[in-house]
């Protein structure tokens, strides 16, 4: 249930109202806007009577929330959430953030080399997988801790924060120590024990959309992380599996405004995994910016033909730089910077 209070309500009246709900075993989330104070009640609200709540002079409006997600719901938190990653802000009307790097981390030298190249092109963060969720158990599984440490060295060299996938709660301490943004991959979007575990972490989470997840299921996964105590969730659309075979996955740009309407969380788009084809990355990236995304995550490799994974959907650094030029123009056309 959402209770909107008048902004002029005295602090004591607000506290009294909150206490009255808490005494009924409800959790109250507060959000202070310019013109209103929004209280989001989580728990069994069937016991509450709207008319009695409205009888309070400071209450402006009472709404029952039909959606199963509360903390992620824009009704609970009308303002955009802006997430800070080492001073880089994602969401709201902030600059569009670019995350770029190889699919898999392939050793220290190539990692530093690609980090320098994507930084020079204009990237804000370095992506790369050290723990890889591969369809085949015989495929390269990632360098593990060594790969994480390669990324740390690349961060030291370039200053770029690092984004990498967590597959197992056993690595949480390592990620708390070294990683800036914890990626939850498509295949783990509904691994609820892992979601609860990252919900107890103190790092922003990049939550990829599941392989065939509905938008509501995806938002419910964000809700799991938030309900466990971590409010810093960045949604990442990477396409879903459909009957269409021309692209690796199918990405509907309508998802971007839908996430913005339903939630207050930032959304980043991954045109590499969405298409599976480097030639389609640029047009899909531009469409995502036009549709209002807050960032892009793109696979970039010095030699895509030799990449240890996902070479076919990786850009060379010069093509990535060319994409950024065009992306700037599109961002400007929709009132954003990049």
Please, what's the b/e burial string for 136-171 (b: 16 or more CB within 10 A of its CB; e: otherwise)? Answer: eeeeebbbeeebbbbbbebbeebebbbbbbbbebeb
Looking at the Cβ atoms of 98 and 103, the one nearer to Mn ion is: 103
Nearest approach, Cβ of residue 251 and ligand PEP (Å): 11
Q: Compute the radius of gyration of the chain from its Cα atoms.
A: 21
Stretch that binds ligand PEP, among 40-48, 52-60, 179-187, 323-331 (CB under 6 A): 179-187
Applying the rule CB under 6 A, the residues between 120 and 159 that interact with ligand PEP are 129, 133
| 166 vs 184: CA distance, rounded Å | 6
Report in angstroms the alpha-carbon separations of 98 from 29, 123, 138, 144, 237. Answer: 31, 5, 32, 24, 14
| β-pair partners for 101 | 299
210 binds ligand PEP (CB under 6 A): no
Interface residue with ligand PEP among 273, 301, 319, 336 (CB under 6 A) is 273
Q: Return the SS3 of 77.
A: coil
Looking at the Cβ atoms of 158 and 309, the one nearer to Mn ion is: 309
| 96 vs 80: CA distance, rounded Å | 14
Looking at the Cβ atoms of 129 and 204, the one nearer to Mn ion is: 129
Nearest approach, Cβ of residue 298 and ligand PEP (Å): 10
Return the residue nearest ligand PEP (CB atom): 185
Nearest approach, Cβ of residue 251 and Mn ion (Å): 15
Nearest approach, Cβ of residue 129 and ligand PEP (Å): 5
Closest CA to 272 of 96, 148, 89, 101: 101
103 binds ligand PEP (CB under 6 A): yes
Looking at the Cβ atoms of 68 and 133, the one nearer to ligand PEP is: 133
Give the position of tokens 């016991």. Answer: 47
Looking at the Cβ atoms of 7 and 303, the one nearer to ligand PEP is: 303
186 binds ligand PEP (CB under 6 A): yes
Stretch that binds ligand PEP, among 9-17, 81-89, 185-193, 255-263 (CB under 6 A): 185-193
294 binds Mn ion (CB under 5 A): no
| 96 vs 328: CA distance, rounded Å | 9
204 binds ligand PEP (CB under 6 A): no
Report in angstroms the alpha-carbon separations of 305 from 185, 238, 280, 300, 301. Answer: 24, 22, 17, 12, 9
310 binds Mn ion (CB under 5 A): yes
User: CB within 8 A of 54, min separation 6: which ones?
Assistant: 62
Looking at the Cβ atoms of 18 and 103, the one nearer to ligand PEP is: 103
185 binds ligand PEP (CB under 6 A): yes
DSSP summary character for residue 45: G
Stretch that binds ligand PEP, among 20-28, 50-58, 181-189, 219-227 (CB under 6 A): 181-189
| 253 vs 291: CA distance, rounded Å | 6
Looking at the Cβ atoms of 65 and 312, the one nearer to ligand PEP is: 312
What does the binding site for ligand PEP look like in residue numbers (CB under 6 A)? 103, 129, 133, 185-187, 208, 238, 273
What does the binding site for Mn ion look like in residue numbers (CB under 5 A)? 103, 310
């Amino acid at each position: 249930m959402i209770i909107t209070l008048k902004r002029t309500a005295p602090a004591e009246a607000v506290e009294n109202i909150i206490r009255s709900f808490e005494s009924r075993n409800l959790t109250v989330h507060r959000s202070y806007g310019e013109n209103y104070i929004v209280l989001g009640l989580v728990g069994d609200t069937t016991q509450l009577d709207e008319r009695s709540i409205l009888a309070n002079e400071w209450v402006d409006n009472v709404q029952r929330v039909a959606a199963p997600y509360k903390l992620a719901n824009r009704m609970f938190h009308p303002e955009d959430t802006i997430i800070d990653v080492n001073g880089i802000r994602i969401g709201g009307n902030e600059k569009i953030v670019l995350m770029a790097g190889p699919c898999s981390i392939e050793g220290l030298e190539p990692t530093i080399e690609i980090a320098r190249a994507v930084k020079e092109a204009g990237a804000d963060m370095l992506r790369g997988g050290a723990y890889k969720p591969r369809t085949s158990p015989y495929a390269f599984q990632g360098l593990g801790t060594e790969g994480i440490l390669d990324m740390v060295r690349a961060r030291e060299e370039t200053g770029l924060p690092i984004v990498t996938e967590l597959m197992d709660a056993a690595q949480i301490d390592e990620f708390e120590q070294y990683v800036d943004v914890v990626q939850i991959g498509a295949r783990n979007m509904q691994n609820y024990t892992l979601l609860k575990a990252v919900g107890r972490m103190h790092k922003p989470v990049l939550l990829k959309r599941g392989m065939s997840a509905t938008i509501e299921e995806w938002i419910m996964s964000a809700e799991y992380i938030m309900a466990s105590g971590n409010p810093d969730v960045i949604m990442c659309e990477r396409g879903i599996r459909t009957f269409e075979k021309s692209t690796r996955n199918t990405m509907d740009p309508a998802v971007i405004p839908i996430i913005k309407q339903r939630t207050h969380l930032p959304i980043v788009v991954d045109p590499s995994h969405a298409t599976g084809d480097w030639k389609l990355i640029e047009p899909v990236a531009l469409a995502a910016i036009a549709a209002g995304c807050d960032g892009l995550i793109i696979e970039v490799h010095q030699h895509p033909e030799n990449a240890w994974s996902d070479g076919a959907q990786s850009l060379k650094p010069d093509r990535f730089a060319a994409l950024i030029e065009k992306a700037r123009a599109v961002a400007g056309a929709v009132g954003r910077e990049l």
